[in-house]
A and B are shown apart, each in its own frame.
Chain A
Amino acid sequence: MNRLAVELPGLSLKNPIMPASGCFGFGREYAKFYDLSVLGAIMIKATTLEARFGNPTPRVAETPSGMLNAIGLQNPGVDRVINEELPWLAQYDVPIIANVAGSTVEEYVEVARRISKAPNVHALELNISCPNVKKGGIAFGTVPEVAAELTRAVKEVSDVPVYVKLSPNVTNIVAMARAVEQAGADGLTMINTLLGMRIDVKTAKPILANRTGGLSGPAIKPIAIRMIYEVSQAVSIPIIGMGGIESAEDVIEFFYAGASAVAIGTANFIDPYVCPNIIRDLPNVLDELRIDHISQCTGRGWNNGQTVYCGT
């Protein structure tokens, strides 16, 4: 028995560990460090219809236990991702979750329609939560009706299951989760970064050229845990959890909160080997906890050990 294997809509994962979108590029850099086939899946960098340069630099700033980024969805455009990046990734035995972004509903729909046809794309992650672009991104992720409408439109054209990436920059994340679930979302990924800012003490100017950026890293982990804990009790679709995960113990905590798989983001920047290390460590942690299978952890924080979502 593979005690780490997880079944989710569109995804048969050999383990529940995947790098988070925007923290792994399209995999090429990390392939120099290890065999990408060890990963459960890869969430590739957000893709828009046309190529984007993104924001001016500085684009990152360190914070206590975290970092701010304002990259601005830099990417080579959907056609180049389909023609160059995805075929390159196909050499690895790993399902791809394609992060889809846009400025308008039409753009999201077109990107989703095209990229969901790529053979190694097993699911889409609808990015309605990027805080670093003027149009689109988070604009679709803070009003339940708007998020639901977009989810419906993308579901109609997508050849693969659609996961919606939720923003923590809302007053009621449960309402957002319910809205996209009712609109047909197959799963949720959460959380994206929290909007934050730093100001240089010497110059009195914002450190990021974009002024504000998205906060990630261990600093946001308790927020992610709380939100997954709330949302997982309110919906019946699975959650891929993320937000400051650094270790196998963190993974278990996310599962206990209600996640069925997890993504690793900022930690990849600090240790390029963090994903394979966590995959290596997980069985030992399960042993210590006397748990047979990782899926048994899902929702334990609130359901007294009943399995919530164990797939099909």
Chain B
Amino acid sequence: MKENMKIIANRQIAKDIYELTLAGSLVQRMRTPGQFVHMKVANSGPLLRRPLSLCDINQEANECTIIYRAEGAGTTLLSQKLPGDTVDVLGPLGNGFSVSALSSGQRALLVGGGIGVPPLYELAKQLVKKGVFVTIVLGFQTKDVVFYEERFASFGETYVATVDGSYGMKGFVTDVIHHHRLSFHVLYACGPKPMLRALANEFPHQDVYLSLEERMGCGIGACFACVCRVPHSETAYKKVCSDGPVFRAGEVVL
């Protein structure tokens, strides 16, 4: 469950956005899109691990890819790591997207916002392999931080929106869905909470899976840092790290 994984590549692909490829035997345990790893970037410096979702799993090559935004102390330190360096990885952790919710010939809508986009890549890959038709909607703040548009386009129709209109359609992912009247059997989403809330409200009677983000301590369910409420209860809860991070819409209070 824990390994010093070797960095194969660590390159910038958009403003502050990095694509990290890791090699190690832990990859053989990675199966489900939407799962994450908990990474200790260095022995000195930040104390806690960083939860980072899996973007691509390549079991033949024993490699996985993670896309992260260099934002705080930990991820900035990570962005300075070079091929050949190692990072301490715990995982894979959490419950990912249910690929079995769909069968061949059905339609999936994948919606990602910002740094919530990466886990949808492995999901799209696995769905397409299964014969599911995927449509992808990616939302970003601005043109500078757009990534993976072409790679998603190889799996299905891909739309991009930016909040400031500097690339693709101006507006939010929900604007794209309305404008193109996109329909689906199952919707999968990962991104900021307002986006997830908007999607859950938009499609209250459909099959919607949402991946949540929350500040974590342990990443394995022991510390109770990342809990969220369950509807209609004062004390019931789910832990984002170990019950999620993917939940069905309505399962937890957003």
Residues on A lying within 8 angstroms of B by beta carbon are 22-25, 28-30, 32-33, 45, 51-54, 57-63, 65-67, 69, 71, 74, 76, 217-218, 266, 268-273
Contacts and interface: CB of A to CB of B under 8 A. Distances in A.
B51 to A, nearest CB: 12
Contact of B215 (A30, A61, A66): A61
Given A57-B214, A66-B47, A71-B225, 13 more contacts: A24-B222, A25-B224, A30-B222, A32-B1, A45-B224, A57-B226, A57-B227, A59-B225, A62-B48, A63-B47, A65-B47, A69-B217, A71-B224
Contacts of B168: none
Contacts of B73: 62
B165 interface: no
B220 interface: yes
Contact of B227 (A67, A74, A217, A273): A74
A273 B219 CA distance: 14
Q: Is the interface of A mostly helix, strand, loop or mixed?
A: loop
Contact of A51 (B215, B227, B235): B235
A273 B2 contact: yes
B49 interface: yes
26 contacts: A22-B223, A25-B223, A29-B221, A29-B242, A30-B220, A32-B1, A53-B234, A53-B235, A59-B215, A59-B217, A60-B48, A60-B216, A61-B215, A62-B47, A62-B48, A63-B47, A65-B47, A69-B217, A69-B223, A71-B223, A74-B224, A266-B47, A268-B218, A269-B223, A270-B49, A272-B1
Interface string B189-221: 000000000000000000000000011111111
Q: Determine chain B's interface SS by DSSP, over half rule.
A: loop
Contacts of A29: 218, 220-222, 242
Interface of B: 1-2, 40, 46-49, 73, 90, 214-229, 234-235, 237, 242
A58 B226 CA distance: 7
Contacts of A69: 217, 223, 225
B224 A62 contact: no
Nearest to B242: A29
A260 B209 CA distance: 50
